[in-house]
Amino acid sequence: MPTLPWTVPNRPPQATEVHVFASRFETRTLWGALKFLVRTPGVWRQIRSAPGAYGASLRAEPFRRTFWTLSAWESPQALKTFARSGAHAPASRGLSAQMRESTFASWQASSDELPVNWAEVRSRLT
């Protein structure tokens, strides 16, 4: 699966502070990676209509069992609401046993800097 391009559900105001969130997931097995991929479309549909979502992308390396996410939000609360609802909530619970390692990072950025490049995401997650 190639990288899902940066999608903008809600255009942020210019020069406004946004909450950026990035994650790196590594599954224990290729079967776990397949399960992650199967759940991706539902979560992707959810983010396209999520209140407070300013953008999102996913980079999948399924044969390495590694997935990277990047998203920007109006606030940390908007991210929490998304994560605890819709397709994301059961997907994250259902995949927890498949995960070998997970890393998360969040930071504030200007909306004018979106989308954040993947090199920065990787450096923040290592």
Given this model, what pLDDT does residue 15 score? 96
The CB density around residue 124, as the number of other CB atoms within 10 Å, is: 17
Tens-place pLDDT, residues 70-118: 999 999 999 999 999 999 999 999 999 999 999 999 999 999 999 999 9
Q: What is the mean pLDDT of residues 54-67?
A: 97
Given this model, what pLDDT does residue 1 score? 57
Classify residue 51 by its DSSP letter: T
Q: Are 111 and 118 in contact (CB under 8 A)?
A: no
Tens-place pLDDT, residues 30-57: 999 999 999 999 999 999 999 999 999 9
Given this model, what pLDDT does residue 2 score? 72
Top-tier CATH class for 4-125: alpha beta
Domain ranges for the chain, please list them: 4-125
Q: How far apart are CA 2 and CA 64, in angstroms?
A: 13
Q: How far apart are CA 114 and CA 30, in angstroms?
A: 32
**Confidence band of 126 (pLDDT split at 50, 70, 90):** confident
pTM over 0.85: yes
